[in-house]
Each structure stands twice: as C-alpha cells, then as structure tokens.
C-alpha cells in the first residue's frame, strides 16, 4: 500500500448508510465529525447509501447519495444474511464505483459491518480501506439479548453468532479498523485472527461548537431542585428500559428525600411505554426537541441507568460539556475512562444511583468539584483537538514512511 507523502493532501471518501447531515443520531454525529476532522487533511466526500434531503453546510465537504428518492427498486448486492446488514441495491453500488473512480480517494472509510457488502468491491478500488466500528455489534447483540429477555434464547443467540462471523470477514478485508474505546479494541483483537491495526477514534462532544468551553454557572433552584435530565433516542430498547427504571424506581426514591425533584425525558420517537411515563408524578416528556441546549442549561443532574447499548455514552460527554454532573451505571460510561467519584458517579443498582443523586444534591461543594473536573476532562480528552488528533492517527498520517 502506497500513500501520498506526509505533506500531501489526503483525499478521504466516507461511506455511511444514512445521510450524516444534518446530524441527529449518535451515528450521524460521529460520521459528520469524522468528515470534519478528515477535511483538515485534504478533500472529503461524504456519501450515503440512502437518499439525502439536505445539502451539507460545510463547503469543504462534498456530499453525495447513492440512492434517489422515488426511483425504481433494483436488485440487491449479494444475499441479505442477517438483520445487522443493510440492503444495498446494485444501482447504488454502480454509483459508488463511479464516484470512487471520479474522486480518487487515498482512503475509503466505511461505516460498520452493516455495509459489509461494499467492502469487497471497494477493496480493489482504494489504497487504504478503513472500517469504522461504531460498536462491536456481536457484543452489543449479546447485551440486547440480556435486556430483551422475552425473546426465545435461540432467536437471539443465532443472530449474535452470525454477526461475529461477519465481523471476522470484515476484519480480513480492511487495512485498518476504528473503534470508539480501548475496551472495544480488546474485544476485536480477541475476535480477529488477523493483525489489522485497530485505532481508537473516540466519540467526541456532540455539537461541540455550540457547547460552552467555559464552565457555565449551575442553574438555580427556582423551578424545583433537582432537575434530572435523560436525553436519548426514546424508541431504542436499552433507552426505554433505562427511562422506565428512572421514572418507576429511581425518581421515587429521590423524591422521598427531595420532594421537588423532577425528571425530564427528552428525545426522538418515544415509544408508547415512554409516553405513558409522563403521567407519573414529577416526570416530564419532551418529544423531538429542536435543541437540547435549553434542557442542558437548566438541568442539575443527568442519570443514565443503562443496562445495554452504547448510544447514550455520547450523551454523557454532552452533559459534562455543559457542566451537568452525571450519575450512571458502569456500562453506560464504559470506554470513556472517566474517574469514578471524581468526574462522575457509578452504581449498578437503582438504589445506589438514587442514593448518589441525593447525596450529591445535598453537598453543594462536592457537586461543584465534580462539575469542574468533569467539564475539564471532557473538553481535554473528547474536544475537537483530541478528535482531530485521533482521526489523524487513524488515517495513518502519524506513521513514519506513510
């Protein structure tokens, strides 16, 4: 593999399933942020399999789509093996191959094993093929199996095994792999028989450009104290499980000591089970908020009792970037390497999470220390410069002779 000299521009083509702009989901935020960081080293083309509705606002990033809204459905590429894989039409693949030949990227970055069918065709067309693993999907499937205990074991174990086989095949095709954390790196190293370089490119602070780099003043108690905030996709099963625990078990315990405590649930597409929680004492629901900034600026705490999944970890960074103290399960904060009892508080149980919330609310000095430490840690390790450095290393630009 021969890449341009270190001082030359690096052309990067990033392939995603959904359009990354405007970024709304955690995946969108990561994809768009990766594109912005890569654009500092050369031209970037951000291309989605699905049709796009809005042009990207950044003039340094070219945006394309491989599908057109309303066009006739064509045959798909390969077999649709498991649900983890996205369907990709032959028309979309043809457009992608044409785009690669036109753009001439030094690196093609592919979003996850959902786009596995594109790896082999792209392998022959690019000097460097990178797979960006937002999650180690086989591990995530196992977590979801534990949460979704109602489904038969065979029905959930079989897809996990299929995902693992797909991950092994994907690792054999890629030149490099990106993961979000050192824990995911260890999982992939154990999974793969190949010595593919695995780079940690963490999730960054969402909407960092609109977040306060200077620690904000803590909100007053005029509208009740504390205001507890949970932000996330409210149709995602692990988040649904988390907010049910929050509203049904954790909040009532907190209100025994702090009767004015309020829980605000905010996010996209809340399931009926989540909508029903708004009828409980002290629970408010904000559906599809246009901006989370007003919610973050008025929150005293964020509690994240996640038992599976990785999507809410990006929301931990966002809360801390706004100076909101975070209390979470260890799994919710996994991979962030934040310091327990200093930068956040961790407990596996509802009782422990509630007790920590009450204790923090009754100790203003301790709360102030945690706000300062968390804010500093997040901006230092997950701010724009840290992410730029990680993307540079992940593209192989720091390697001698690259």
Query: How confident is the model over 143-202, as pLDDT tens digits?
Result: 555 555 554 433 444 455 678 888 888 999 999 999 998 988 888 888 777 689 999 999
Global pTM reads 0.87
| CA gap 243, 264 in Å, rounded | 10
Backbone phi, psi, residue 371, to 5°: -60, -45
SS3 content of the chain, % helix, strand, coil (to 5): 40, 15, 45
Which of 81-85, 177-181, 220-224, 260-264 has the lowest average pLDDT? 81-85
Compute CA distances 252 → 1, 225, 260, 395, whole Å: 59, 14, 11, 48
Task: Retrieve residue 233's tokens.
Answer: 């996709």
The residue with tokens 């996990």 is 160
Helix (H) or strand (E) holding 359: helix 350-361
Whether omega before 22 lies within 30 degrees of 0, making that bond cis, reads: yes
Q: Measuring CA to CA, how many Å separate 137 from each of 62, 193, 282, 304?
A: 29, 17, 36, 21
List the beta bridge partners of residue 283: 263
Q: Which two tokens stand for residue 385?
A: 């410069």
CA distance 139 to 160: 8
- What sign does the CA torsion over 328, 334, 335, 338 have? positive
All structural domains of the chain with their residue ranges: 12-204+383-394, 209-381
Of 168, 157, 170, residue with least CA distance to 131: 170
Which residues, other chains included, contact 33 with Cβ-Cβ below 8 Å and sequence gap of 6+? 23, 204, 387
Has residue 390 got a pLDDT over 60? yes
Question: Strands, DSSP E only, in 182-294?
Answer: 198-200, 227-231, 262-267, 283-287
* Torsion 393-395-397-400 (CA) sign: positive
Condensed to tens digits (0 to 9), the pLDDT of residues 306-361 reads: 988 755 588 999 999 999 999 999 999 988 999 999 999 999 999 999 999 999 99
Q: Does domain 209-381 fall into CATH 3.40.50.2000? A: yes
344 DSSP assignment: B
Q: What is the DSSP string of 366-401?
A: HHHHHHHHHHHHHHHHHSHHHHHHHHHHHTTTTSTT
Cα distance between residue 179 and residue 166, in whole Å: 16
Query: How many angstroms separate the Cα of 52 from the Cα of each of 19, 46, 72, 74?
Result: 6, 11, 17, 18
Mean pLDDT of 288-297: 94
Q: What gap in Å lies between CA 111 and CA 33, rounded to an integer?
A: 13
Q: Specify the pLDDT at position 17.
A: 94
Start-to-end Cα distance in the chain: 9
The pLDDT score that the predictor gives to residue 143 is: 56
CATH of domain 12-204+383-394: 3.40.50.2000
Question: Rounded CA gap, 188 and 337, in Å?
Answer: 18
pLDDT band at 402; cut points 50, 70, 90: very low
């Amino acid at each position: 593999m021969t890449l341009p000299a270190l001082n030359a521009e690096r052309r990067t083509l990033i392939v995603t399933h959904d359009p990354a702009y405007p970024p709304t989901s955690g995946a969108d935020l990561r994809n768009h942020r990766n594109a912005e960081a890569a654009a500092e080293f050369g031209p970037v083309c951000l291309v989605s399999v699905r049709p796009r509705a809005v042009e990207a606002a950044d003039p340094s990033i070219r945006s394309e789509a491989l599908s057109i809204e309303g066009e006739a459905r064509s045959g798909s590429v390969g077999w649709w093996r498991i649900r983890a894989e996205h369907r990709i039409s032959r028309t979309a693949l043809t457009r992608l191959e044409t785009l690669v030949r036109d753009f001439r990227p030094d690196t093609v970055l592919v979003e996850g094993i959902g786009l596995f069918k594109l790896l082999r065709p792209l392998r022959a067309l690019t000097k460097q093929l990178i797979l960006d693993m937002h999650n180690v999907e086989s591990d995530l499937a196992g977590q979801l199996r534990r949460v979704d205990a109602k489904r038969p074991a065979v029905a959930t174990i079989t897809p996990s095994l299929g995902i693992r086989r797909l991950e092994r095949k994907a690792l054999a095709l890629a030149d490099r792999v990106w993961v979000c954390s050192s824990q995911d790196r260890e999982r992939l190293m154990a999974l793969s028989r190949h010595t593919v370089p695995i780079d940690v490119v963490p999730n960054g602070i969402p909407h960092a450009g609109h977040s306060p780099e200077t620690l904000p003043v803590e909100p007053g108690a005029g509208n009740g104290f504390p205001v507890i905030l949970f932000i996330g996709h409210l149709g995602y099963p692990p988040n649904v499980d988390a907010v049910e625990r929050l509203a049904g078990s954790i909040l009532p315990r907190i209100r025994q000591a702090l009767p004015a405590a309020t829980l605000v649930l905010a996010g996209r597409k809340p399931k009926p089970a989540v909508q029903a929680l708004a009828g409980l004492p002290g629970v408010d629901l904000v559906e599809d908020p246009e901006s989370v900034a007003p919610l973050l600026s008025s929150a005293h705490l964020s509690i994240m009792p996640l038992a599976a999944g990785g999507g809410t970890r990006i929301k931990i960074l966002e809360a801390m970037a706004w100076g909101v103290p975070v209390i979470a399960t260890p799994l919710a904060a996994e991979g962030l390497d934040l310091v327990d009892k200093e930068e956040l508080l961790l407990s596996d149980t509802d009782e422990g999470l509630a007790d920590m919330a009450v204790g923090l609310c009754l100790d203003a000095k301790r709360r102030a220390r945690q706000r300062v430490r968390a804010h500093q840690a997040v901006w230092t390790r997950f701010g724009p410069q840290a992410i730029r450095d990680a993307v540079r290393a992940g593209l192989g630009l720091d390697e001698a002779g690259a």
